[in-house]
Amino acid sequence: MSSGHDHGHDHGHSHGATADSDKRWLAGALAVIVAFLAGEVVVGLLASSLALLSDAAHMLTDAASIVLALWAIRLAAKPAEGRMTYGWKRAEILSAQANGLTLLGLAAWLTYEAVRRLIDPPDVSGKLVLITALVGVVVNVLASWMISRANRTSLNVEGAYQHILNDLFAFIATAVAGLIIMLTGFARADGIATLIVVVLMVKAGVGLVRASGRIFLEAAPAHLDPVEIGREMAAVGDVVEVHDLHIWEITSGVPSLSAHVLVAPGKDCQATRADVAHMLADKYHIDHAVLQVDYTDHEDCTDTEHEHAPHCEDSHGPVHRKSIAAN
């Protein structure tokens, strides 16, 4: 007999108020960034500064990342219906992955441009670069603060936040480059500043792609150890064995679990199922657990049906038994 448990039935719906506040903070950051972006492009062209133009390009991806995050939040709020049995919650992970990939793509382009300018440095107006970069630092501190007020446990919001935070580092590096150019005339400082930012962009981009890839590949969340959880489940009450244990995330912060649980003959399988489900919710915050519970002698748990529930001939992953849990 298969028996499901959805201890946190309202989990997916309780994010509504938070999603609304997330949208307000993201929209505020977007307004600040777009206003500054327009002015920065003009100054970057006047100053012939790659560092400023690269910051502007990065800010354009910042704006795009926020628009994408806002769109994903809106999609994720749509109810599950029809073929979309989980709703559109994965849209937020698509958004996070797109943000990570654009960071990596932009890093590749900026590396090429920076190296080209290190080889043949153009004349750069250090004063214009410094002033604009300092204004950019203020703008990005404000935008970073706004997005940090949103729910950063969402990989989608974190993706937008990483874009803005990297831009803040970019402006700090650009301001330093502008000061060096003003004081020493060393124009290559502009390209060096760009390369420093590239390193930070690659780090953030790889992190986002890896985290979103983990969710797309149905891997267990980084903070949950399937072996430990399997042993804990096997240690509950009358449980004899746990196999076909799967742990995954629909979207960041929403873990789900399914497993085949075998209990000792003659014991109360429904009570055991409830005990396992409560343990998972209380100890691991896994509120959505679907548990198939059978007796070890293959008889159906209800005792009202006479057909036998087959064991899995080819179970996935390790088998967790009471003896293992006791060690």
Look up residue 257 and give its two tokens.
């679990």
Tokens of 154: 């969402």
Can you give the pLDDT at residue 16? 43
The confidence score (pLDDT) of residue 297 equals: 63
Section 16-31 average pLDDT? 73
Residues of the chain with CATH 1.20.1510.10: 12-216
Dihedral, CA of residue 52, residue 55, residue 56 and residue 62, to nearest 10 = -170
pLDDT at 133 over 70: yes
Sort strands 255-263 and 288-295 into parallel, antiparallel or unpaired. Answer: parallel
pLDDT for the residue numbered 19: 62
Residue range(s) in the chain whose domain bears CATH number 3.30.300.30: 226-326
pLDDT digits (tens, 9 = 90+) for 152-207: 667 777 877 887 887 788 888 888 888 888 888 787 887 888 888 888 888 888 98
Of the spans 111-115, 122-126, 234-238, which averages the highest pLDDT? Answer: 111-115
Q: What is the pLDDT of residues 242-267, one digit of tens each?
A: 888 888 887 777 788 888 888 888 78
Residue bearing the bigger pLDDT, 1 or 236: 236
What pLDDT score does 6 carry?
A: 43
**CATH top-level class for 226-326?**
alpha beta
Res 85 pLDDT > 70: no
Percent of the chain with pLDDT over 70: 81
Give the pLDDT of residue 135: 86
Instruction: Grade residue 10 by pLDDT with cuts at 50, 70 and 90.
Output: very low
Two tokens at 129?
Answer: 């670069």
Q: How confident is the model at residue 326 (pLDDT cuts 50, 70, 90)?
A: very low
Count of C-beta atoms within a 10 Å radius of residue 35 = 10
Q: Given CATH 1.20.1510.10, say whether it is the number of domain 12-216.
A: yes
Token match 């293992």: residue?
Answer: 324
Q: What is the pLDDT of residue 2?
A: 44
Q: In sequence order, what are the beta bridge partners of 114?
A: none
pLDDT at 315: 62
Percent of the chain surpassing pLDDT 90: 0
Task: Tell whether the model's pLDDT for residue 306 goes beyond 50.
Answer: no
Residue 294 dihedral angles phi and psi, to the nearest 5°: -135, 160
